[in-house]
Chains A and B, each alone.
Chain A
């Protein structure tokens, strides 16, 4: 059994590795904790011991064990913090080189995709917006895709399991995030913040394809769009 679903973004691997790193610390701590919990319960059962020892723990002596344990815990906490910091920076900081820009807006209850029009700029008159249930967002593989996340009426949370990315979408705000897919395929976009009755049905797709396929898709889209516009 796999613990995590397949990771398809450049930073997804970092999240998975972080999990295993923390698990090493947590697992060790748990094993030690259960040992020190169970050992006295078994060894000091009242049938085996006549009288308990009088240890108040008020002085420094025996209490230094707890201080030692706390120091170890604090130390491992900061190791984790240090390790996770670059993963966090990697996900939260948008790279300078942008290959594609788009806008993803949550609404009750589907995701709206906005591609820049033929002028290549977002938020201009020729932008193409797709607002349908079950629609697909097409993106090229191995490219830095930067997107603005917005929401129409209520909070939503953009979640693509296979990229490991989750980001809340907040009405009135724009959160800019990015990803870079390492392989082609079709993945679910879900909403991870309760947004009303059909929260469970809020699902769209992200289709990752080669640059050629993507170019073809987007040109078809432009053509279809100009046709409807001229009609």
Chain B
């Protein structure tokens, strides 16, 4: 390998690095920092919901427009600046090259540019908090005319209008999309072109498949939203009327463009984490992944179906009733592939030899929570019930039960599983398990009760229910307080993760090359893998999930093992 030959300066190694592992680290750390910001925003508005009008510790008083800004930015940050960098930027960069036996990405410079564009997008977003009028506060969906009209009236001048909340948020999201697209080109080309000899398509680990499918879904669905965002930006800063009904425009158009991207985006976020589950569960059940090929076919099917479900977010927007039925059926159909994938994971456990290690706990916790999140989707997919439940806390609880396990349980599963590989150290198990259980318990106590608040009629994005005498009642008031207290504890328990990270980095036990006895290629590389990853180009002889093969003494056969 030629990589190890040139010495690297501090700047080229840690700052303007072209090494996929360092870029993955940069993406992950930036994502976690943004998660801290998103979590802080959540703390502030949840505190306000439980104790409306009271002074918020560490923050102060929350005005109504700040409340709107905070919920908007919480959503934006968690989806675009936490989930995307961690699940695509982090997983994609860390895992794809090592899992396919490559020394690095196909385009290392593009990869570096991708991260720096992403960092710039995060800076633009954070900066938007400090412009006159504050960050955008019209919900993360940015529906016009509210998003188009909120600021332009205040600032008739072009440049003044540009540096207000809504245009800056559009700019930040646009930069973020560009970053993810640059990363995505790398993932797809690297996977197609840099696989080790013998690593055929159906020998690829599920993670690699799923990150690529997610990337393709993202690239396919994001285009129309980019077009829509241009129109929105022009409406705001130049005063066109694309979404202005007084000028022949149509606000519903933006909703279609938004959700044409927005719903597939859910699967973009879900698939990388599911891929990680597909690695962890077989390793700790010591059993082949159940129906590996069929899982891939199901994911491809879901990718196709993901573009015909978007309007189920618009059941109460006054769309054609026949269209609503069409999208209701689409929504039902897309539940099938994902049910199939989850059932395959569960089936992998049957007849296995299960070790409840830290990564396995996170993976199983993911499934346990996602079952609730997915199943409550059936209520919302039914368009008649959605008339009532739409934009209530039922929806809020539902999507937190899908996205929280997806983002954070998925991340922690991957983190605990690959930590020994990428740092060469083992994590502290005791601390890790405490962190898992606290997160699991406090997550449930934060969000489960909110289902009832939603069914009781509490609608979203309201900073104070005191005007509404029929929903500002017990037990919902108590539920809000329990949810807020739990949310604070949930955030505080994440400090255990940080403590564990630092303790294990400094004083953790040295990790072996293959501590979990896993099959995939990354366990062949040294721990941590040097610049260039492998000592020799590995050759691949079999699929990724050959565990407990009959007639073989060892209960695993690595992909790189020539002889059984």
Complex Cα distance, B328 from A77, in Å, reads 10
Interface contact A53-B287, CB-CB below 8 Å: yes
| A93 proximity list for chain B (CB < 8 A) | 321
Asked if A162 is at the interface (CB within 8 A of a chain B CB), the reply is yes
Quick check: B146 and A165 within 8 Å, CB to CB? no
Q: Which residue from A3, A5, A66, A81 sits with its C-beta under 8 Å from B347?
A: A66
Flag the segment in A11-19, A121-129, A207-215, A222-230 that touches B: A11-19
Cβ of B455 within 8 Å of any chain A Cβ, yes or no, is yes
CA distance A93 to B545 in the complex (A): 54
Pair B364/A173 contact, Cβ less than 8 Å: no
* Assembled-state Cα–Cα distance A158/B104 (Å): 54
Complex Cα distance, B344 from A22, in Å, reads 24
At the interface with chain B, which of A37-45, A111-119, A135-143?
Answer: A37-45
* B350-A167 in contact (CB<8A): no
**Contact partners of B387 in chain A: CB under 8 A:** 15, 88, 91, 164-167
- B residues within 8 A CB of A73? 335-336, 339
CB distance from B476 to the nearest CB of A (A): 10
The one of B321, B375, B390, B462 that contacts A199, using a Cβ cutoff of 8 Å: B462
Chain B residues with a Cβ closer than 8 Å to the other chain, count: 92
Contacts of B469 in A (CB 8 A): 188
CB < 8 Å: which of A50, A54, A89, A167 contacts B318? A167
Bound-state Cα–Cα, A84 to B321, Å: 13
**Are B385 and A54 within 8 A (Cβ)?**
no
A57-B332 in contact given A84-B385, A193-B391, A194-B461 (Cβ < 8 Å): no
Name which residue of chain B comes closest to A18, CB basis: B385
Q: Mark B357-398, 1 if CB is under 8 A from A, else 0.
A: 000000010011001100110110011110110111000000
B149 contacts A by Cβ under 8 Å? yes
B415 to chain A, nearest CB (A): 22
Residues A88 and B347 in contact, CB atoms below 8 Å apart: no
- Residue contact A192 to B378, C-beta cutoff 8 Å: no
The complex places the Cα of A118 from the Cα of B379 at a distance, in Å, of: 44
Which residues from chain B contact A34 at a C-beta distance below 8 Å? 368, 371
Out of B65, B336, B456, which one reaches A70, CB within 8 Å? Answer: B336
Answer whether residue B412 sits at the interface, using C-beta atoms and an 8 A cutoff.
Answer: no
Measured between beta carbons, the chain A residues less than 8 angstroms from B328 are 81
* B68–A194 CB distance below 8 A: yes
Q: How far is the CA of A93 from the CA of B456 in the complex (A)?
A: 25
Q: Is B371 within 8 A of A199, CB to CB?
A: no
Cα distance A225–B286 when bound, in Å? 81
Docked Cα-Cα span, A67 to B535, in Å, equals 44
Contact of B344 with A57 in the complex, beta carbons under 8 Å: yes
Query: Within 8 Å CB of B355, what residues of A?
Result: 46
8 Å CB contact of B555 from A14, A51, A78, A171: A51
The smallest C-beta distance from A125 to any residue of chain B, in angstroms, reads 23
Question: Beta-carbon contacts of B91-134 to A below 8 Å, as 1s and 0s?
Answer: 00000000000000000000000000000000000000000000
Chain A residues within an 8 Å CB radius of B146: 154-155, 194-196
- The yes or no answer to A80 lying at the interface (CB within 8 A) is yes
Give, as a whole number of angstroms, the nearest-CB distance from B96 to chain A. 25
Establish whether residues A173 and B245, one from each chain, have CB atoms under 8 Å apart when the complex forms.
Answer: yes
A157/B391 in contact, CB under 8 A: yes
Closest to A65 in B: B347
Interface size on A, residues (CB 8 A): 84
B318 to A175, Cβ gap below 8 A? yes
B261 within 8 A of A: no
Determine if A62 is an interface residue (Cβ-Cβ < 8 Å).
yes
Chain-A contact segment, one of B5-13, B212-220, B288-296: B288-296
Q: A34-B371, A51-B548, A52-B547 are in contact. Are A25 and B349 (CB under 8 A)?
A: no
Cβ 8 A contact of A153, one of B149, B383, B464: B149
Residue of B at shortest CB range from A15?
B388
A218 part of interface (Cβ distance < 8 Å):
no
Contact status A40-B352, CB under 8 Å: yes
A155, B469: Cα distance in complex, Å: 24
Docked-complex contact B354 and A46, CB < 8 angstroms: yes
Q: Determine which of B285, B384, B457 lies in contact with A91 in the assembled complex, contact meaning CB atoms within 8 Å.
A: B384
Interface positions of A from 49 to 89, Cβ below 8 Å from B = 49-58, 62-63, 65-66, 69-70, 73-74, 77-78, 80-81, 84-85, 87-89
**A219 proximal to B (CB < 8 A):** no
Q: Tell which of B17-25, B137-145, B169-177, B267-275 binds the partner.
A: B137-145
A residues less than 8 Å from B143 (CB atoms): 155, 193-194
When the two chains form their complex, are residues A171 and B290 in contact, meaning their CB atoms are under 8 A apart?
no
Instruction: Scan B447-472; emit 1 where CB is below 8 A from any A CB, else 0.
Output: 00000100111011111110111110
Complex Cα–Cα for A83 and B66 (A): 42
- Tell whether, in the assembled complex, residue B372 and residue A70 are in contact, meaning their CB atoms are under 8 Å apart: no
A196 to B463, CA, bound (A): 12
Are A30 and B347 in contact, with the CB atoms below 8 A? Answer: no
Task: Point out the residue from A53, A74, A78, A159 that lies within 8 Å of B351, measured CB to CB.
Answer: A53
Kindly provide the distance from the CB of A8 to the nearest chain B CB, expressed in whole angstroms: 11
The interface-forming segment of B27-35, B246-254, B485-493, B509-517 is B246-254
Find B138's partner among A22, A91, A157, A194 (CB 8 Å cutoff).
A194
B431-461 vs A: 1/0 string, CB under 8 Å?
0000000000000000000001001110111
Contacts of A70 in B (CB 8 A): 336, 339-340, 343
Task: Let me know if A54 and B470 touch, CB within 8 A.
Answer: no
| Chain A positions 177 through 206: 1 when the CB is less than 8 Å from some CB of chain B, otherwise 0 | 000000000011011111111111101000
Q: Are B384 and A3 in contact (CB under 8 A)?
A: no
A203 to B468, CA, bound (A): 8
With A41-B354, A70-B343, A168-B316 already in contact, the answer to whether A88 and B145 are too (CB < 8 A) is no
Residue in B closest to A71 when the chains form the complex, CB atoms? B336
- Asked whether A164 lies within 8 Å of B364 as measured between CB atoms, the reply is no
* Also in contact, A26 and B376, with CB within 8 A (given A41-B356, A46-B353): yes
**Interface check B150, CB cutoff 8 A:** yes
Chain B: CB-nearest residue to A69: B343
Encoded as 1 (CB less than 8 Å from any B CB) or 0, chain A from 86 to 103 comes to: 011101110000000000
Q: Would you give the shortest CB distance from B454 to chain A, in whole angstroms?
A: 10
Measured in the bound complex, the distance between the Cα atoms of B459 and A19 in whole Å is 18
Q: Could you say which residues of chain B place their CB within 8 Å of the CB of A171?
A: 145, 245-246, 251
Expressed in whole angstroms, the minimum distance between the Cβ of A47 and any Cβ of chain B is: 9
Q: A120 to nearest B CB, angstroms?
A: 26
Chain B residues contacting A175 (CB-CB under 8 Å) are 318
**Residue among A36, A89, A170, A201 making CB contact with B251, cutoff 8 Å:** A170
Q: Is B160 an interface residue (CB 8 A)?
A: no
Interchain Cβ contacts under 8 Å between A and B, 15 examples? A18-B385, A33-B371, A37-B367, A44-B353, A49-B352, A56-B288, A66-B340, A70-B339, A74-B336, A78-B332, A155-B145, A161-B471, A167-B318, A171-B246, A201-B467
Using CB atoms and an 8 Å cutoff, list the residues of chain A in contact with chain B: 1, 3-5, 14-15, 18-19, 22, 25-26, 29-30, 33-34, 36-37, 40-41, 44-46, 49-58, 62-63, 65-66, 69-70, 73-74, 77-78, 80-81, 84-85, 87-89, 91-93, 153-155, 157, 159, 161-162, 164-168, 170-173, 175, 187-188, 190-201, 203
**Which 8 A-B pairs give the minimum distances between C-beta atoms?**
A172-B245, A161-B457, A57-B291, A53-B351, A57-B290, A88-B384, A87-B384, A40-B349
5 further interface pairs, Cβ-Cβ under 8 Å (given A91-B384, A196-B68): A46-B286, A66-B290, A73-B336, A172-B251, A200-B67
